[in-house]
Amino acid sequence: MTDKAALYDVIRKPVVTEKATMASESGAVVFEVAPDANKPLIKEAVETLFGVKVKAVNTTITNRRDHRSLIALASNEHGPRGNAGAFLRQLLASCANARC
């Protein structure tokens, strides 16, 4: 297991775009992640930091060399409020307070 400070270095910030918002409607959230992060490390970071069960992790590298990860939440684990959209809103609010 990795300590929490190192896990915060893996998950940089949530991505808020039209496509990411559409993904949240189907139970997934999108994060910008560290370039050297692998799928098991991203899964561990999300499960540990946000207390949800991760079903799958898909990663991509954009043209600007941003590393993004689409994280599909388990069907019964859409965050504390009951769905991925609400989980994303809560995540963004807490991230704004902590200056992620």
Measured CA to CA, the distance from residue 55 to residue 75 in angstroms comes to: 8
* Dihedral sign from CA coordinates of 51, 43, 28, 97: positive
Measured CA to CA, the distance from residue 39 to residue 60 in angstroms comes to: 11
CATH number of the domain that 74 lies in?
3.30.70.330
Q: How many domains does the chain have?
A: 1
Per-residue pLDDT of the chain (100 residues; tens, 9 = 90+): 568 888 888 988 888 888 888 887 778 888 888 888 899 999 999 888 888 888 889 888 877 777 778 778 776 544 444 555 666 666 666 665 555 5
Domain range for 50 is 4-98
